[in-house]
A and B are shown apart, each in its own frame.
Chain A
């Protein structure tokens, strides 16, 4: 088992030349031969959609899968803020190297230099590509593209399309994908869920899927598989992710041998609408851009439940401004989130459940006028009012952090291939270029970089090496995997206990959020590691799934996903327990300065933790990929 050696396949040579050199060194597939290869792309988000379209344009046969009714609905659609690119259109000193550096630093020096540099390099092509597709980015009056600064960046490199950047980028990729579907180059399978990965002689050559309308379980074979199935933020149950977001595809691949890297790196977004009650099913993100004009505060006094407007100025604690004078309200996500938690843990939270802090616009409104604020944030204010029935022009918004993004994911090398040959992982589903913390507006960039500009090259190298194999789904490996999927489905249906999958999910989420959320400690993690298996055992004993197998059955879909979260949550906590340092989104309370700042342990933990599955309920085995920093100096992140 532990014979796995993690080879990152990072090309040699100077940082700036690696990607060029690598592209030259890689094998190519002869254009006339591309038709002979079939690539399976699971996911139609920015990563999957872009990859499927680009691969089809190149001439490969592509099969693309998503669980929604249309590829256009992948959760990338929900991204609001924007997408970074080192275009330096604003002439404010941005460059590929600066974007690279910011990303490495933002990720708390836990990502792979070469990947991040490549990401910054191709970021400029992404914007060109999207504009050519008709993505209506915001423009200045002169007709050139507008940019804004985002997530605490010192330069304005974020491109945006109103508050709907993710939507517009995804619709761009979807239009390219649609074109290829129309041309017959992509076979699209919506409402189809991947249930397993099929290996033939150790290579990923196919998947098992369930048709969500008929319930039929079947297989698809190909020459390579690419997973662009998104993040696992729903392990916390409440998150800003869509209800269908899941870890299933990635986790089943993990169970087939793919290593899962850094699962404990999860991002908690500081500005979400707080939980309103037990009924809550998901949390809504309020764009980070609000922090440009809003001031974050909590009452100084514990348990102060006067309405916000009646709390006098000197009884308010503008804690971000106090603690981080130079970044103030624009402090990075992990830091702002944690500070909010501290205030609430201190008994100074606001709102019905004491889990919230204020984001106050009264100063900005006084200074800039209501109209300007309306112009900037009108639709966000409307959305807030729609959800909370409070008018943020009059009373401060209440916000609280929520699970938002997951930096961890399946381990991949420089070619975006996992340790299983043929299995490629793109977008949020891989362990990504964001290290321990992702900068705002960089996930869209990474998804599209992987899909448009990296995978289409690197997959050719693999395909050319192994050659077209024309594998049939009649092979025993497929039959076995299908049988296992069927048995699992039947098992879920046959338990016939008393609790729904949703209720188990809610409870699991609570355990993970409390013990492995914004701040973690050994005691809590150990407790979670004890509670999760117990809950999982109860799940398999007392689950109730209504409906039947061969039909559209949302209860069954949900149960299957929750089953995987039940196992995955344990891996997440295990990783968090093992990483005895605080870095980025992973904050271990034992490792902090007196002022409460994170303390990394570079000597011991400058590596990617890639976990190998060793069996149901067994402790996963750790593999390390040492991170080498040749171009940046490891420094302490400081936003004071």
Chain B
């Protein structure tokens, strides 16, 4: 099939950037979306044009590196699927596809569709951990954890940190990402002692990074490739409120 691509091109962080139009010819329906871009890039490189830059690594939907907004939707039209797992059979011959970077103040564009997501790392550094040093941990079975709690923790822990939630949110909010981590630890006995401090510290850092607030659009949930639910945001709110009440009493 032949596809017309409208792609955001931006040389570097300071370049204003603009949409450019390219054509992808003879695309196999079996190729992945990123492989289609590989083909276009091979073509551009032949012509001496700097290829379209896009982040990617594992290409199997787990590293969270790929970060394209395809026709206005982070990771594209297929639910629960990262851009790298999206296949061209989701499109048809003659389609026009818009490819843009994740947009949020906290995710500045570095080049083309590549954005800087280190804000997520800084949120994690503020409190996304259980403070245990290596060694000295008690036997893994010393504290039984009910299966339901472990499952809930795992549901939240499935987050791949891609940032699609931020990109989809009309407020550029990172609540789904932060909520997922807070929820994971809040469900585990190991996470209890730092529960309050963690919620406050992570939220404070999140705000500092310039992410927006949650207006409960649920766009984040709709695009999350790992189907993290917005209830993790409620859980974070509860933890945050609890922490505030506790520290002021």
Contact = CB atoms under 8 A, between A and B. Distances in A.
A–B touching in complex (CB under 8 Å): yes
Given A77-B63, A134-B129, A178-B128, 19 more contacts: A69-B117, A72-B161, A89-B141, A125-B135, A128-B140, A129-B135, A131-B137, A131-B143, A132-B132, A139-B147, A143-B147, A242-B58, A279-B28, A383-B85, A386-B85, A502-B38, A546-B51, A551-B111, A552-B12
A128 B133 CA distance: 12
Interface string A233-262: 000000010111000000000000000000
A635 interface: no
Contacts of B161: 70, 72-73
Nearest to B123: A178
Interface stretch (B151-159, B166-174, B216-224, B228-236): B151-159
Contacts of A243: 56-59
Contacts, number: 228
A138 B145 CA distance: 10
Contact of B145 (A73, A89, A143): A143
13 contacts: A70-B161, A77-B64, A131-B137, A138-B150, A144-B141, A162-B154, A178-B129, A281-B38, A285-B60, A386-B81, A544-B48, A546-B48, A552-B12
Contacts of A285: 60
B146 interface: yes
A259 B35 CA distance: 36
B54 to A, nearest CB: 8
Nearest to A280: B35
A326 B93 CA distance: 51
Nearest to A128: B137
Interface in B99-134: 110-111, 114, 116-118, 120-121, 124-134
A372 to B, nearest CB: 18
Interface in A427-474: 452-453, 456
Contacts of A73: 57-58, 63-65, 161
Contact of B45 (A125, A181, A555): A555
Contacts of A141: 147
A30 B88 CA distance: 59
Interface string B21-64: 00000001011101110110010111011110101111111111
A54 B59 contact: no
Could you say which interface size class chain B belongs to?
35 or more
B77 interface: no
B210 interface: no
Interface string A184-220: 0000101000000000000000000000010000000
Q: Is the interface of B mostly helix, strand, loop or mixed?
A: loop
Contacts of B132: 129, 132-133, 176
A68 B35 contact: no
A389 B88 CA distance: 11
B150 A139 contact: yes
B138 A164 contact: no
Instruction: Please name the 8 residue pairs, one residue from A and one from B, whose CB atoms are nearest each other, closest first.
Output: A143-B144, A182-B125, A175-B129, A132-B137, A279-B31, A136-B153, A136-B154, A54-B134
Nearest to B31: A279
Interface of A: 50, 53-54, 57, 68-73, 75, 77-78, 87, 89, 125, 127-134, 136-145, 161-162, 164, 167-168, 171, 174-176, 178-179, 181-182, 188, 190, 213, 240, 242-244, 276-277, 279-282, 284-285, 383, 386-389, 452-453, 456, 498, 500, 502-503, 544, 546-547, 551-555
Contacts of A142: 144
Contacts of B121: 70-72, 178, 181, 188, 190
B146 A143 contact: yes
B185 A134 contact: yes
Nearest to B115: A69
Contacts of B51: 546-547, 554-555
B140 A546 contact: no
B102 to A, nearest CB: 12
Interface string B172-198: 000000000000110010110000000
A557 B51 CA distance: 13
Most chain A CB neighbours (cut-off 10 Å) among B49, B59, B144: B59
Interface string B52-90: 010111111111110000000000001001000101010
A139 B48 contact: no
B229 to A, nearest CB: 16
Given A70-B121, A138-B150, A552-B114, A176 B129 contact: yes
